[in-house]
Structure 1
């Protein structure tokens, strides 16, 4: 099949996260039609997660190409760049206070970022409640997208922005995410200033990291007086069941954690004992390194679908950079095939290099911070 021009191609994006929506926004901004399919029933059907720091060199760059940077700055929490490293006794080892005009990595809630991107798209761009089941068709296209509701769509380019368990990736690669050996347990806190004043004072307006080499805590302020804490452990992937507990047994899990973190100061342990509501189990997964596939002129991957890594400073930022580069390659290329070739020529080496640097990096989250890290005020971010 002859590859169509991007302007005449049927382009489908799977996944209405920051990567997929950024790609759609930039394409539409340049007059290229696109449809986004997402399994959520609507934009507000589930919690979107915690806070993100968008970096000047990738996430902010992508928002600039989307024409949304100033709107982002209006929503961003610049005070969220504050970072503390604390030891298990509650002593602050380092404290970074951002300058008044610092814009290197301001924070925004995931839900706010998604809302910003969704508002920039014409009504109907995102089709909700469309769960992709499989991708069929030849590598040179067209592709057939089959959804779990029994419907099917033919497309000239399918873009997999559908995360760790990407259905688009399954049509291009046999690789699957593997457990890193480190797991997060997410805890939520509401009304920080009124209900949790001691924790608010310990963490400050941004984030705080505590680790002793075996265990760790990462606290992250969100907007609206909320906070999330990620309780980090080196455990089997099914550690809750192996401990004779159930995910909904909040009190039982809390008691287990207090034994695990025995010896830590009561001040720091408030991050385990004062959470509002249940814990959420989040084992850390990563794709094999390097992750490559045989190129297809009718399919492309971005973000976690292409290069799932431990949460050590890339994540959404890299997904949005991928999205911008792929969209601009489509804008500037004569055919879809040329655009995919151009995009992968830069994306694959970059993602491989970063993934190799971060391979096994989940262990860093548990490490006692060294002098260099303390000087930099904390671990790498998302």
Structure 2
């Protein structure tokens, strides 16, 4: 019986928590192991637009669609495109069905829906090994745990994936430097007006400034550069690390309009490096009973297209249904993998093409064409 399966989930991101919730709703208890020490260990990243056919569908399967409506920001679906001179080239305030939600708020919703002690914090997996008729997780502190089924939702550098595939992510050649601006509407109204209600793209010179509205008056900014993956690391040894990195970043955009430079000026703090990595589109592995990976661990892709978290959650929901399907769950999981691989391949190719187009010499024109195509 599926209810008797011992299921271990590696990673407490959107995919891992969605999977645990779908299983719980069907009477199956899973254990989730998360390397982070607590929910407040680090910020969870920017805002996600939840797609009706994937992310929202997963929340419906998990029985959380109504609760999601209470945290979704339908008012923040707008898109703008600027050129380097600060000229507004495109402005669409969408009234569609891809509402925004902050990653951290979504995570809190999923965590609150799970039984106590479902998630075990501070449990970093060092290896996954096949033993007898199951799999054993070994943790960095030396503990071990055995399961009938192990699911890796442990991201780009998944330890679980190593049991299935030798393939590693490759650097796309684009680095995001992330910054954050707090209390933007009260403290920085000019920046608030520049960003509007949604996200903006300012592109030129094979680089870009991207900003998105988050909840609670926060704006998250990404300075996109075609540079080596270790760009800016020398700034980390400077006496004033933030100032040194900001100066280096401003130098990259020195000919851009002052209104756009305000996005990476003194108002912006919380600087962090975000190299964009990707698994090869079409990544697959020979099926193994009792172990699989989903989300970024299976099909890591660039954020251009907004499919990553949405597909991860849909993966989780559909895998949960497969595991709960009864005695023939191994066959159901194998069929699920085929479905996941097929849909992820197209999305990953599109995400990589979208990144390359946006960061090309004529990136602004290509992004504008893409935006206008969605108006038609």
TM exceeding 0.5? yes
Alpha-carbon distance in 1 for matches of 2:293, 2:125: 15
Alpha-carbon distance in 2 for matches of 1:118, 1:374: 35
Give the one of 107, 110, 135 matched to 1:143.
135
Q: Any stretches of 5+ residues in structure 2 without a counterpart?
A: none
Give the one of 8, 11, 34 matched to 1:12.
8
Give the RMSD, CA atoms, in angstroms.
Answer: 1.9
What is the CA distance between 1:377 and its match in structure 2?
Answer: 7.4
Give the one of 86, 90, 114 matched to 1:94.
90
Change (3 A) 1:167 1:248: farther
Q: TM-score, normalised by structure 1?
A: 0.92
Task: Provide the residue aligned with 1:324 in structure 2.
Answer: 317
Q: Does 1:199 align with 2:196?
A: no
Q: Does 1:300 align with 2:296?
A: no
Alpha-carbon distance in 1 for matches of 2:310, 2:272: 24
1:92-241 correspondence to structure 2 within 5 Å: 92-99=88-95, 102=96, 104-138=97-131, 141-241=133-233
Counterpart secondary structure, 2:369 = helix
Counterpart secondary structure, 2:186 = helix
Change (3 A) 1:243 1:145: closer
Q: TM-score, normalised by structure 2?
A: 0.94
Question: For structure 1, which segment, 30-39 or 229-238, has the greater mean C-alpha deviation from structure 2 after superposition?
Answer: 30-39
Alpha-carbon distance in 2 for matches of 1:291, 1:182: 21
Alpha-carbon distance in 1 for matches of 2:326, 2:335: 8
Q: Does 1:42 align with 2:38?
A: yes
Q: Does 1:81 align with 2:74?
A: no
Counterpart secondary structure, 1:369 = helix
Task: Provide the residue aligned with 1:261 in structure 2.
Answer: 253
Question: For structure 1, which segment, 198-207 or 355-364, has the greater mean C-alpha deviation from structure 2 after superposition?
Answer: 355-364
What is the CA distance between 1:246 and its match in structure 2?
Answer: 5.2
Q: Any stretches of 5+ residues in structure 1 without a counterpart?
A: none
Alpha-carbon distance in 1 for matches of 2:12, 2:240: 29
Task: Provide the residue aligned with 2:264 in structure 1.
Answer: 272
Q: Is the 8 A contact 2:177 2:271 kept in 1?
A: yes
Q: Is the 8 A contact 1:16 1:126 kept in 2?
A: yes
Change (3 A) 1:246 1:68: farther
Q: Is the 8 A contact 2:93 2:197 kept in 1?
A: no
Q: Deviations over 1:23-71 (max 9, x none)?
A: 1101110111211111111122211111111010100000001111111
What is the CA distance between 1:368 and its match in structure 2?
Answer: 1.3
Alpha-carbon distance in 1 for matches of 2:87, 2:373: 17
Alpha-carbon distance in 2 for matches of 1:252, 1:242: 9
Counterpart secondary structure, 1:52 = strand
Counterpart secondary structure, 2:364 = coil
Q: Is the 8 A contact 1:136 1:171 kept in 2?
A: yes
Q: Is the 8 A contact 2:281 2:346 kept in 1?
A: no
Alpha-carbon distance in 2 for matches of 1:330, 1:375: 42
Task: Provide the residue aligned with 1:375 in structure 2.
Answer: 372
Give the one of 347, 354, 357 matched to 2:340.
347
Q: Is the 8 A contact 1:248 1:278 kept in 2?
A: no
Q: Is the 8 A contact 2:236 2:245 kept in 1?
A: no
Q: Deviations over 1:215-251 (max 9, x none)?
A: 1011011111111100000000111136796596221
Alpha-carbon distance in 2 for matches of 1:41, 1:242: 29
Change (3 A) 1:284 1:57: same
Question: For structure 1, which segment, 277-286 or 328-337, has the greater mean C-alpha deviation from structure 2 after superposition?
Answer: 328-337
Task: Provide the residue aligned with 1:365 in structure 2.
Answer: 358
Alpha-carbon distance in 1 for matches of 2:216, 2:104: 12
What is the CA distance between 1:360 and its match in structure 2?
Answer: 4.8
Alpha-carbon distance in 2 for matches of 1:288, 1:305: 12
